[in-house]
Structure 1
Amino acid sequence: MKQQRRDAYTRWLAAEIQAAIDDPRPSISHEEVMARMDAQLARLGEGRPTEHAARKAP
């Protein structure tokens, strides 16, 4: 049973990696990701919704 779970996880991980490789969207630099995360954490610290949550609102 443990081997089956490991095999399933390996297949899932391989599919996730391949999907990331195949994604046609432009890459985002580490610095940009960290800047966005810092801004989201600051909003949460202030009790405001994150940029992501604000975009989903109707």
Structure 2
Amino acid sequence: MDIAALSTQLAQVNLMQNVSLAVTNMAMDAQQQMSTDLVESLETSVPAPHPTLGQTIDISV
């Protein structure tokens, strides 16, 4: 077995693993940011309920 070829193959495998982890981390960071943005937009877009809403019932018989 050629030691130089084996060394090159191991370096390529190591590089592919590092690239794969970097891409996964980038995707996770993007998802985290989108989740944070979604939560912030939901918190600001929902108005407070009306203070007297639901306290009276209008019934006619």
TM range (shorter): 0.3 to 0.5
TM-score normalized with structure 1 length: 0.42
TM-score normalized with structure 2 length: 0.40
Higher RCO (CA-CA < 8 Å; seq separation 6+): 1
